[in-house]
């Protein structure tokens, strides 16, 4: 049972436009969410996170929005740049400490110059 | 600063062979873990360790062994390789078990024939 779902395997966006990557989760105990970015032949790198006590977190061009009632989060990248082309993984964890991350299946973002 | 180092980068095994994937980190992180990445499955936790001498099972531990004799090293052993273990393996570490911001190695691509 996939508790964290990224329903779009791929997304193409024009350079300079907004990229929106979506993630849905089913476990209501999840209370901390992260996005990781992965380039080919490299390991994932942490991008941005959000706690369930917030509904938005911003870091430069990257903003993550959390809608707890819908069990949905999204990553917005504005403006999109060619270097943003990568696979993006959504991940979630619970409140009890020592929780292990549950990852989504990833979305491949391609920025078209 | 090397971060998390995995060796080898590529490996081909025959069914039934055994081997060890090496992982070392130089950040003095207490928490280390192994994930496998398969198409359409995201990243799944195999085993993890919260400190030297302590290991525990993740989501998909069968067929794998780990040990943690030092803070720096966390090798993953395949006891008798099977084609189902063909995957990309990532080692990750963080400052403590409750810190979800993982640092990943660059991965080992394993093929079992």
Instruction: Convert the pLDDT of each residue in B42-89 to its tens digit.
Output: 899 999 999 999 999 998 999 999 999 999 999 999 999 999 999 999
Q: How confident is the model at residue B2 (pLDDT cuts 50, 70, 90)?
A: confident
Chain B residue nearest residue A46, CA to CA: B101
Mean pLDDT of B14-20: 96
Cα distance between residue A13 and residue B94, in whole Å: 33
What pLDDT is recorded for position B95? 86
Which residues of chain B are within 8 Å of residue A4 when distances are taken between CB atoms?
Answer: 42
Of the candidates A16, A32, A21, the residue with the CA atom closest to the CA atom of residue A83: A16
Residues of chain B found within 8 Å of residue A41, distances taken between Cβ atoms: 106-107
Pairing verdict, β B10-13 and B108-112: parallel
Query: Each residue of A31-43: pLDDT tens digit?
Result: 999 999 999 989 9
Peptide bond into B8 cis (omega under 30): yes
Cβ atoms of A73 and A23 within 8 Å: the answer is: yes
pLDDT value for A97? 57
Check CB contact under 8 Å for B102 and A100. Answer: no
- CB-based contact, B58 to chain A, within 8 Å: yes
* Distance separating alpha carbons of residues B99 and A112, to the nearest angstrom: 35
pLDDT confidence of residue A37: 97
* Other C-beta atoms lying within 10 Å of the C-beta of residue B19: 15
Taking one residue from A and the other from B, the number of pairs with CB-CB distance under 8 angstroms is: 57
- Here the tokens at position B87 are 């995957």
Weakly modelled stretches of chain A, pLDDT under 70: 96-99
- pLDDT of the residue at B1: 65
Average pLDDT, chain B: 93
pLDDT at B42: 86
HSE, CB side, 13 Å, CA atoms: give it for residue A68: 12
Are the Cβ atoms of B107 and A106 closer than 8 angstroms? Answer: no
Interchain proximity B58–A103, CB inside 8 Å: no
Closest partner CB to B48 (pick from A36, A100, A104): A100
Residue from the list A49, A89, A98 with its beta carbon closest to the beta carbon of B98: A98
Share of chain A above pLDDT 70, in %: 96
Provide the shortest C-alpha distance from residue A48 to chain B (in Å): 9
């Amino acid at each position: 049972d996939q508790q964290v779902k990224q329903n779009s395997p791929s997304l193409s966006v024009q350079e300079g436009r907004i990229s929106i990557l979506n993630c849905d989760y089913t476990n209501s105990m999840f209370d901390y969410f992260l996005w990781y970015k992965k380039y080919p032949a490299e390991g994932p790198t942490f991008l941005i996170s959000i706690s369930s006590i917030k509904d938005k977190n911003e870091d430069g061009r990257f903003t993550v929005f959390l809608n707890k009632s819908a069990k949905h989060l999204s990553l917005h990248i504005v403006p999109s740049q060619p270097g943003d082309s990568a696979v993006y993984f959504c991940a979630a964890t619970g409140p009890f400490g020592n929780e292990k991350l549950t990852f989504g299946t990833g979305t491949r973002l391609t920025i078209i110059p | 600063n090397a971060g998390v180092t995995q060796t080898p980068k590529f490996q081909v095994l025959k069914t039934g062979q055994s081997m060890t994937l090496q992982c070392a980190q130089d950040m003095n992180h207490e928490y280390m873990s192994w994930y496998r990445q398969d198409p359409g499955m995201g990243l799944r936790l195999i085993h993890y360790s919260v400190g030297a001498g302590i290991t525990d099972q993740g989501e998909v531990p069968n067929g794998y062994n780990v040990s943690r004799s030092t803070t720096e090293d966390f090798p993953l052993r395949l006891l008798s390789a099977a084609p189902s273990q063909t995957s990309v393996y990532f080692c990750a570490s963080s400052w403590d078990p409750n810190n979800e911001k993982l640092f990943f190695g660059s991965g080992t691509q394993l093929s079992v024939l």
